Amino acid sequence: MANNYISTTEAAKMLNISRIAVFRKIKNGQLKAQKVGRNYVIDKDELGVLVGRSLGANNKKLIEAAVKKTVQEYGETLKLLGQE
pTM: 0.57
With bands split at pLDDT 50, 70 and 90, how would you rate the model's confidence at 56? Answer: low
The region of weakest confidence among 14-18, 19-23, 33-37, 64-68 is 14-18
Collapse the DSSP code of 5 into the 3-class scheme (helix H, G, I; strand E, B; otherwise coil) and give the result.
strand
Q: What is the DSSP string of 26-43?
A: HHHTSS--EEETTEEEEE
Cβ atoms 59, 24 nearer than 8 A: no
CATH fold label, 1-53: Arc Repressor Mutant, subunit A (1.10.10)
Task: List the domain boundaries for the chain.
Answer: 1-53, 55-84
Task: Quote the strand ranges of 1-84, DSSP E.
Answer: 5-7, 34-36, 39-43
pLDDT mean across residues, the chain? 85
Q: Is residue 63 predicted with pLDDT exceeding 90?
A: no
Q: Is residue 83 predicted with pLDDT exceeding 70?
A: yes
